[in-house]
A and B are shown apart, each in its own frame.
Chain A
Amino acid sequence: DAGVTQSPTHLIKTRGQQVTLRCSPKSGHDTVSWYQQALGQGPQFIFQYYEEEERQRGNFPDRFSGHQFPNYSSELNVNALLLGDSALYLCASSLGLNRNQAQHFGDGTRLSIL
């Protein structure tokens, strides 16, 4: 039973570049959420995808966008990277929206902006 998988594990970019992070949900899950975790902070909700649509969004600028594919996998895109975008990006999957389902996290992608 495959858990949540994310790629790549580490990434180094420079300011102004664009990045795409990928996530495959746990088998049987259909909902993907993305979180940003800065050093010393708890994860912050970016957005959530269900049925290939963005259902909920946190307090992040439009530079952060995403996509969900028919197989439930998801991408997070960040444009015009800033130094402050350096963080661990976590993907979490769950089943459905209106249920008390715990979210399962992937190992994350550690993004460093130089």
Chain B
Amino acid sequence: RKEVEQDPGPFNVPEGATVAFNCTYSNSASQSFFWYRQDCRKEPKLLMSVYSSGNEDGRFTAQLNRASQYISLLIRDSKLSDSATYLCVNHLSGGYNKLIFGAGTRLAVHP
């Protein structure tokens, strides 16, 4: 089983739609998670952190469910500029600072 698993998509949604991605992780001792966004042929950029019960940033909401070992990302009122690949990341710390990435979920927002 992969350490971090994501549905690769693509998710094709119209502008204004609400879309949600899920991600599962295998290490039950994992403490923190991130969502990164990656545009085509660009570097990953931090979208938001996910700690304890999750958090919200504008149109973006991330939730963490420790019992089921999954995190989610909800995007409301999708914009064309939201089109990208969204990477779910498990952050391992404790003597090191290591990121375990999922393969990414591709989102395409169309007019």
Residues of A within 8 A of B (CB): 31, 33, 35, 40-45, 48, 55-56, 88, 90, 92, 94, 96-108, 110
Contacts and interface: CB of A to CB of B under 8 A. Distances in A.
Given A43-B44, A97-B93, A106-B43, A33 B101 contact: no
Contacts of A108: 43
A31 B93 CA distance: 13
Contacts of A103: 46, 97, 99
Given A90-B43, A102-B46, A106-B43, A43 B96 contact: no
Interface of B: 4, 8, 31-32, 34, 41-46, 49, 51, 87, 91, 93-104
Given A102-B49, A105-B43, A42 B95 contact: no
A36 to B, nearest CB: 11
Contacts of B41: 88, 110
22 contacts: A31-B97, A40-B103, A42-B87, A42-B101, A42-B103, A42-B104, A44-B101, A45-B100, A56-B95, A56-B96, A56-B98, A96-B97, A98-B93, A98-B95, A99-B93, A100-B31, A100-B49, A100-B93, A102-B49, A103-B97, A107-B42, A108-B43
